[in-house]
C-alpha cells in the first residue's frame, strides 16, 4: 500500500478519511471526481514554516510568507491562509481579484509576472500593492507612467535571475539565464540606475524565484548567495536595498521521499539573507497546499487486453494535468481498506487522447468497477490548472475542517459549459 502523504489522512475503520470525514461519504454527497482538501493540513504547513524560522531567526527578521496563489486559488483556500497569518503572491489581475475578495489588503500582496498588462499594473497599484516584482528594464517606463497617472509612487523590486538550474522538471525551472524570467546580475545595476531616474518609482529591493519542487537546499543556498552578492554590489554603488523577496519552490513528497525540511531552508536564510539586514518575503505555494488534498474518483471500468489491464477512472487529464504535462508521478490509493492481491494497471481517464494516461504499470490492490480511489498530492497545481477539455465540467472542491465538509466550489453544470458562448 502506498504511504499516505498527509498526517491529516488515515484509514479509520475500513475507509480512508480526511481529518474526521469519510471519503466514501464525500463521494456520496458531492459525487466524483471531486477535490477534497484538509484545512488543518494547510494551517499545519504554515505553522511548520513559521516555527522552523522562529527557531533559528531573530524576531526582527522573520519572513512574511506570501502564499503563491497559483498553486490553488480557491478563495476559501486563500481565506484559510489569511486566517493562519499568511500573505499573498499573485501573477495576474484575476489572482488580485481573488485575493481582495478573500479579504487580503493590497499591502499584504506582492505581484510578479513576466507579462503584466497595463490594466493589471493599474489595478495592482490602485489596490495599494506591497510591491511589484519587475522582470524587465522595459517595464519601467510603463509602470512609472501609470503610477504618475494615479499620482503615486510604485513600489518596485527587480527579479534577479541567478542562472541556476533547479526544479522538478525542465518546464518548471525559472532561474536559468535562458529562461524568460528576471534579470541577470549584469542587468540589475542598469535597472536600478534607470529606475532611480523615474520620479514615480520607489525601488524597494530584489525578488527571485528559481523554480518549483526543489529538494536540494544547496541550490537555494547558491541562489541566495548570488542575491547577497548583488545586494553588496548595489549598496557599494550607494543604492538602498531594504527588502528581499526570496521566492518559493520548496519540494514536497509525492512518493516515499522526505519533503525538504523547513529547518534547512530556515538555516539557509539565517546564514545568507539575515546578515544583509533586510525585510524578508518568501513565496511558498506547493509546500503549503500540495499534500492538503486528494482527487477523489470512481473506477468506471476495468478493461483487459492480452497483455495488460487498464483501470479507467472518472478523473482525467483535464482535472489533473501534471502527469500529462510534466510526466509527474502522483500516488493513488483505494478508499476502502483492502487485503486484495496486488495487480498492475495502466491508469487512464475518459479523455480522447493517449496523453490522458495518469500512470503506466502501477501496482494497486485489485479494484472493481464502482470502487473509489484517491489521487494524492492534489492540493497544488491540480484544480488551478484544470480545464473543460472534452467538455468535461470542472470537478467540485470540498474543504474539510474537523468533521465538517464544506462545498467550496460546486461542480460545473452543462449550462455552465456553454454559458459564455454566443
Ligand atoms: N513565486 C513565483 C514567482 C512563482 O512563479 C511560483 C511558481 C511560486 C512562487 C511558487 O512556487 P512553489 O512554492 O509552488 O514551487 N504547475 C507546476 C508548477 C509551476 C510553478 C510556477 N511558479 C507544477 O504543477 O508542478
Question: Is 313 an active-site residue?
Answer: no
Rounded to whole angstroms, what are the CA distances from 160 to 123, 126, 309, 356, 406? 24, 25, 49, 37, 41
Task: Tell me: pLDDT of 1 over 80.
Answer: no
Beta strands of 232-339 (E only): which ranges? 243-245, 279-282, 293-304, 309-313, 332-334
Category of 153 on φ-ψ map: left (φ > 0), alpha (ψ -120 to 50) or beta: beta
For the segment 379-399, the average pLDDT, to the nearest whole number, is: 98
Ligand 1 atom with the smallest distance to the CA of 382 is 24
Query: Which of 286, 295, 329 has most ligand 1 atoms within 8 Å of its beta carbon, as the pocket-test mutant?
Result: 286
Contact 84, 43 (CB under 8 A): yes
Task: Tell me: pLDDT of 258 over 90.
Answer: no
Please give the pLDDT value at position 126. Answer: 98
Rounded Cα–Cα distance for residues 397 and 149 (Å): 41
Please give the pLDDT value at position 256. Answer: 85
Please give the pLDDT value at position 81. Answer: 98
**Half-sphere exposure (Cβ direction) of 36: Cα atoms closer than 13 Å:** 35
For the segment 32-37, the average pLDDT, to the nearest whole number, is: 98
**Residue nearest ligand 1's atom 23 by CA:** 381
Q: How does pLDDT run across 337-377, given as a tens digit for each residue? A: 999 999 999 999 999 999 999 999 999 999 999 999 999 99
**Ligand 1 midpoint to CA 346 (Å):** 29
Rounded Cα–Cα distance for residues 161 and 180 (Å): 9
Domains of the chain: residue spans and CATH? 9-38+290-418 (2.40.37.10), 63-284 (3.20.20.10)
**pTM attached to this predicted model:** 0.98
Query: Which of 49, 68, 245 has most ligand 1 atoms within 8 Å of its beta carbon, as the pocket-test mutant?
Result: 68
Alpha-helical segments (H) within 183-296: 185-196, 217-236, 262-268, 286-289
Extract the C-alpha cell encoding 243.
527588502
**Ligand 1 midpoint to CA 249 (Å):** 6
Rounded Cα–Cα distance for residues 15 and 355 (Å): 31
Ligand 1 atom with the smallest distance to the CA of 174 is 5
Rounded Cα–Cα distance for residues 165 and 212 (Å): 11
Please give the pLDDT value at position 245. Answer: 98
Tell me which DSSP letter residue 271 carries.
I
Closest to 36 in 3D by CA, of 66, 6, 2, 65: 6
Residue 390: count of CB within 10 angstroms of its CB: 14
Rounded Cα–Cα distance for residues 412 and 395 (Å): 7
Query: Which of 162, 285, 325 has most ligand 1 atoms within 8 Å of its beta carbon, as the pocket-test mutant?
Result: 285
**Ligand 1 midpoint to CA 250 (Å):** 9
Q: How does pLDDT run across 320-334, given as a tens digit for each residue? A: 999 999 999 999 999
Query: Which of 88, 214, 249, 259 has most ligand 1 atoms within 8 Å of its beta carbon, as the pocket-test mutant?
Result: 249
Mean pLDDT, the chain, as a whole number? 97
Closest to 169 in 3D by CA, of 254, 55, 240: 254
Radius of gyration of the chain (CA): 23
Contact 90, 96 (CB under 8 A): yes
Extract the C-alpha cell encoding 93.
489581475
Closest to 83 in 3D by CA, of 72, 67, 70: 67
**Ligand 1 midpoint to CA 209 (Å):** 8
Q: How does pLDDT run across 201-238, given as a tens digit for each residue? A: 999 999 999 999 999 999 999 999 999 999 999 999 99
Please give the pLDDT value at position 2. Answer: 86
Contact 182, 225 (CB under 8 A): no
Please give the pLDDT value at position 257. Answer: 85
Q: Residue 259's pLDDT band (boundaries 50, 70, 90)?
A: confident
Alpha-helical segments (H) within 1-92: 23-30, 39-56, 75-83
**Ligand 1 midpoint to CA 197 (Å):** 33
**Ligand 1 midpoint to CA 118 (Å):** 23
Please give the pLDDT value at position 225. Answer: 98
Rounded to whole angstroms, what are the CA distances from 117 to 123, 139, 163, 174? 10, 10, 26, 21
The single residue of 292, 313, 352, 382 carrying the catalytic annotation is: 352
| DSSP codes joined into one string, 326-383 | H-----EEESB---PPEEEEEEE-SSSSTT-EEEEEEEEE---TT-EEEESS-TTTTG
**Ligand 1 midpoint to CA 285 (Å):** 6
Ligand 1 atom with the smallest distance to the CA of 290 is 14
Proportion of the chain in helix, strand, coil states, percent, rounded to 5: 35, 25, 40
**Residue nearest ligand 1's atom 5 by CA:** 209
Rounded Cα–Cα distance for residues 360 and 248 (Å): 31
Exposed e or buried b per residue across 400-415, where buried means at least 16 C-beta atoms within 10 angstroms of its C-beta: bbeeebeebbebbeee
Using CB distances shorter than 6 Å, the residues near ligand 1 are 68, 70-71, 89, 112, 172, 209, 212-213, 247-250, 283-287, 322, 326, 381, 385
| Residue 202 CB contacts under 8 Å (≥ 6 apart), including other chains | 153, 154, 155, 156
Amino acid at each position: 500500500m502506498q504511504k499516505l502523504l498527509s498526517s491529516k489522512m488515515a484509514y479509520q475503520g475500513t475507509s480512508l478519511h480526511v481529518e474526521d470525514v469519510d471519503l466514501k461519504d464525500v463521494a456520496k454527497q458531492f459525487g466524483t471526481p471531486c477535490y477534497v482538501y484538509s484545512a488543518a493540513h494547510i494551517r499545519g504547513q504554515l505553522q511548520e514554516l513559521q516555527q522552523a524560522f522562529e527557531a533559528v531567526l531573530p524576531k526582527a527578521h522573520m519572513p512574511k510568507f506570501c502564499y503563491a496563489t497559483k498553486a490553488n486559488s480557491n478563495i476559501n483556500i486563500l481565506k484559510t491562509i489569511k486566517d493562519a497569518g499568511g500573505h499573498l503572491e499573485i501573477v495576474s489581475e484575476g489572482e488580485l481579484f481573488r485575493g481582495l475578495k478573500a479579504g487580503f489588503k493590497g499591502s499584504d500582496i506582492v505581484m510578479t509576472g513576466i507579462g503584466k498588462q497595463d490594466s493589471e499594473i493599474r489595478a495592482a497599484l490602485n489596490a495599494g500593492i506591497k510591491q511589484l516584482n519587475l522582470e524587465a528594464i522595459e517595464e519601467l517606463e510603463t509602470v512609472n507612467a501609470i503610477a504618475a497617472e494615479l499620482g503615486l509612487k510604485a513600489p518596485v523590486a527587480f527579479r534577479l535571475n541567478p542562472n541556476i538550474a533547479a526544479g522538478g522538471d525542465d518546464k518548471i525551472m525559472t532561474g536559468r539565464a535562458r529562461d524568460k524570467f528576471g534579470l541577470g546580475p549584469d542587468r540589475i545595476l542598469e535597472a536600478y540606475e534607470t529606475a532611480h531616474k523615474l520620479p514615480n518609482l520607489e525601488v524597494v529591493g530584489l525578488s527571485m524565484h528559481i523554480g518549483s519542487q526543489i529538494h536540494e537546499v544547496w541550490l537555494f543556498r547558491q541562489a541566495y548567495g548570488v542575491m547577497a552578492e548583488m545586494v553588496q554590489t548595489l549598496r557599494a554603488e550607494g543604492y538602498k536595498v531594504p527588502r528581499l523577496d526570496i521566492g518559493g519552490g520548496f519540494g514536497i513528497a509525492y512518493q516515499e521521499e522526505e519533503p525538504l525540511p523547513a529547518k534547512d531552508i530556515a538555516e539557509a536564510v539565517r546564514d545568507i539573507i539575515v546578515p544583509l539586514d533586510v525585510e524578508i518575503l518568501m513565496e511558498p505555494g506547493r509546500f503549503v497546499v500540495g499534500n492538503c488534498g486528494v482527487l477523489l474518483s470512481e473506477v468506471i471500468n476495468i478493461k483487459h487486453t492480452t497483455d495488460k489491464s487498464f483501470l479507467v477512472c472518472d478523473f482525467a487529464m483535464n482535472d489533473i494535468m501534471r502527469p500529462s504535462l510534466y510526466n509527474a508521478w502522483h500516488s493513488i490509493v483505494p478508499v476502502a481498506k483492502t487485503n486484495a492481491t496486488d495487480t498492475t494497471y495502466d491508469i487512464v481517464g475518459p479523455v480522447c487522447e493517449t496523453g490522458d494516461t495518469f500512470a503506466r504499470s502501477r501496482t494497486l490492490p485489485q479494484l472493481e468497477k464502482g470502487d473509489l480511489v484517491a489521487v494524492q498530492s492534489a492540493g497544488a497545481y491540480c484544480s488551478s490548472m484544470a480545464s473543460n477539455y472534452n467538455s468535461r465540467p470542472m470537478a467540485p472542491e470540498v474543504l474539510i475542517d474537523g468533521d465538517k465538509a464544506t462545498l467550496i466550489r460546486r461542480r460545473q453544470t452543462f449550462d455552465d459549459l456553454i454559458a459564455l458562448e454566443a
